[in-house]
A and B are shown apart, each in its own frame.
Chain A
């Protein structure tokens, strides 16, 4: 049960957005810029993989499942690739540049000061740009916030892969603008 009195019908962070629209606005806008808006070099799929990877390190079920599903739809892949990345980026079939960025993301998750010049240098050697390194650090940092927000208030986190997949399809298409969020998926989930 959530730690505070939240509207019962919405899962995870959705619930918190409905509860406090004033903070939902900048939070959605941050997710939109970091994950969905066009980026000069990092695909939305790769950015979602970073989000999902960090959420998994923070053991946040809702964020990991949601962003894994969004990554899958953004990449046009199946969930196997995403699961391989979560299990071990080094052996996953992804670019060496993304492997370097995920290494930086993992350091950020364990604490900002753990990112060393040699981690940044290694990513640069694989072709990572300053903007990609900046955005990787901020995506990883932002998910250290989102994950704590969702778990720290003990929100309801469904155990239903179909739900996350449908939500992932919708987010991949529509992004994170609060106005684009509709609640029909939740209604379907409750009937199922």
Chain B
């Protein structure tokens, strides 16, 4: 049970919180929509992988599984991607650029000052642009917020990977904060 009395306790994870406080829900959803589905030279699948991987490192089951399911929907890869992200993508074909950006995201997860010039140079060597580095840092930082929000208020989360399939498809194909 959540630490506070939500309006609808059946809604899992961040969904119940967004429903509880619509004033903060609005910018939180617009931020996710812009970062994960807005115009970018990184694909939405790549950006959802960054979100899911940071959430896994923050031990946030709801955010990790739902965003990994969204990545799977974007990439058409099947739900096996959820456990692949946990393991560091050993059997998934992703670009060296994405691997370098994930390194930066994992530093941000530990703390902003952990990102060094060496991490940035390594990403640049794989072709990462300034905007891709900027967005990677902000996606990782934003999930350090969403994860703490979801777990800090003690929300509940479905356990199985399969339970997130439809949610991930909705996040991928419909988006964040869309009513249709």
* Chain A positions near chain B (C-beta within 8 angstroms): 3-5, 16, 19-20, 22-23, 25-27, 29-30, 33-34, 37, 58-60, 104, 107-108, 111-113, 115, 117, 120, 130-131, 133-135, 137-138, 140-142, 144-154
Tell me, yes or no, whether B141 is within 8 Å of chain A by CB: yes
B147 CB-CB contact with A under 8 Å: yes
A123 to chain B, nearest CB (A): 10
Q: Which residues of A contact B138 (CB under 8 A)?
A: 16, 20, 23, 149
Interface positions of B (Cβ within 8 A of A): 3-5, 17, 20-21, 23-24, 26-28, 30-31, 34-35, 38, 58-60, 104, 107-108, 111-113, 115, 117, 120, 130-131, 133-135, 137-138, 140-142, 144-154
Which of the residues A5, A135, A145 comes within 8 Å of B141, measured between beta carbons? Answer: A145
Tell me which of A4, A37, A130, A131 has the highest count of chain B C-beta atoms within 10 A of its own C-beta.
A4
Count A-B pairs with CB separation below 8 Å.
Answer: 152
User: Is there an interface contact between A4 and B140, defined as CB atoms closer than 8 Å?
Assistant: no
| A152 and B59 form a contact (CB under 8 A) | no
From A20, A25, A130, B4 is in contact (CB under 8 Å) with A130
- Chain B residue at minimal CB-CB distance from A19: B134
* Chain B, residue nearest A132 (CB): B4
| A154-B134 contact in complex given A29-B26, A33-B23, C-beta closer than 8 Å | no
A30 touches B24 (CB 8 A): yes
**Given the interface contacts A23-B35, A29-B26, A149-B141, does A115 sit within 8 Å of B112 by beta carbon?**
no
